[in-house]
């Protein structure tokens, strides 16, 4: 699993939208103080420049509570600024005694995280056909509805009705809606089905 320093060395460009995935396995007996710590750091992270949102997923791993936090940033620079901030370093030091495996971080382009395992990093990603089905369920309604919603507005001015301009506006609307709103929710909704193995069991 790549760490934050490795990600910083690559120095990708700006505005690529990246996700910082943080996984914490909490020691038994520390669940309540960890929840309080988590609420605090989520609030502070949300105030950082370039922060686009956070999702927290709870699960179990080897009998311990597992928390997967997915923070989205508008650029690698914004993400790295939060990772290196004195505030975060101090907060992570506070949490370290509560964590069974330390502070585990992973950096991905936002679209690669959609179908990445969120609780057990050793689990394989879902089959391609399942990824395709979920993606189709998200994209198809957008391709049908977004042009209809834009239709009346595109007729208000000749520039807006230009084929290139109209296509650009419709495409941007679809991409932003899918990336920020619907694909993260769809993958959480279909998580049990995506993670369910279709391989026949040996008898």
pLDDT tens-digit profile of 24-62?
Answer: 999 999 999 999 999 999 999 989 988 888 888 888 888
Clarify whether residues 93 and 139 are in a common domain.
Answer: no
d(CA 13, CA 25): 32
Number of domains in the chain: 2
Clarify whether residues 146 and 84 are in a common domain.
Answer: no
In-domain check, residue 169: yes
Pairwise pLDDT comparison (13 vs 37), residue with the higher score: 37
Clarify whether residues 109 and 132 are in a common domain.
Answer: no
pLDDT confidence of 12, banded at 50, 70, 90?
very low
In-domain check, residue 97: yes
Q: Minimal CA–CA distance to 73: which of 156, 136, 16, 135?
A: 16
Considering 113, 137, 160, which residue would you say is the last residue of a domain? 113
Clarify whether residues 8 and 103 are in a common domain.
Answer: yes
State the average pLDDT over residues 180-201: 70
1, two tokens: 């699993």
Considering 113, 142, 176, which residue would you say is the last residue of a domain? 113
Q: Is the dihedral of CA 9, 15, 16, 17 positive or negative?
A: positive
Clarify whether residues 69 and 150 are in a common domain.
Answer: no
Clarify whether residues 53 and 13 are in a common domain.
Answer: yes
197, two tokens: 């193995």
pLDDT recorded at residue 185: 79
79, two tokens: 């993400």
Clarify whether residues 144 and 107 are in a common domain.
Answer: no
Clarify whether residues 107 and 162 are in a common domain.
Answer: no
Range of the domain at 189: 128-195
Clarify whether residues 109 and 184 are in a common domain.
Answer: no
pLDDT confidence of 116, banded at 50, 70, 90?
low
pLDDT above 90 coverage of the chain, percent: 28
């Amino acid at each position: 699993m790549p760490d934050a320093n490795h990600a910083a060395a690559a120095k990708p460009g700006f505005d690529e939208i990246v996700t910082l995935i943080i996984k914490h396995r909490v020691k038994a007996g520390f669940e309540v103080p960890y929840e309080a710590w988590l609420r605090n750091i989520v609030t502070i992270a949300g105030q950082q420049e370039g922060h686009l949102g956070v999702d927290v997923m709870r699960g179990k791993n080897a009998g311990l509570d597992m928390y997967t936090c997915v923070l989205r940033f508008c650029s690698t620079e914004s993400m790295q600024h939060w990772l290196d901030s004195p505030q975060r370093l101090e907060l992570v030091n506070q949490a370290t005694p509560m964590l069974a495996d330390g502070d585990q971080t992973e950096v991905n382009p936002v679209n690669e995280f959609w179908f990445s395992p969120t609780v057990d990093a050793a689990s394989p990603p879902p089959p391609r056909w399942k990824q395709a089905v979920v993606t189709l369920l998200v994209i198809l309604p957008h391709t049908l509805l977004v042009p209809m919603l834009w239709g009346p507005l595109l007729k208000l001015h000749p520039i807006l009705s230009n084929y290139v301009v109209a296509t650009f506006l419709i495409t941007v609307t679809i991409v932003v809606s899918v990336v920020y709103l619907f694909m993260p929710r769809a993958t959480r909704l279909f998580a049990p089905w995506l993670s369910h193995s279709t391989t026949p069991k040996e008898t």
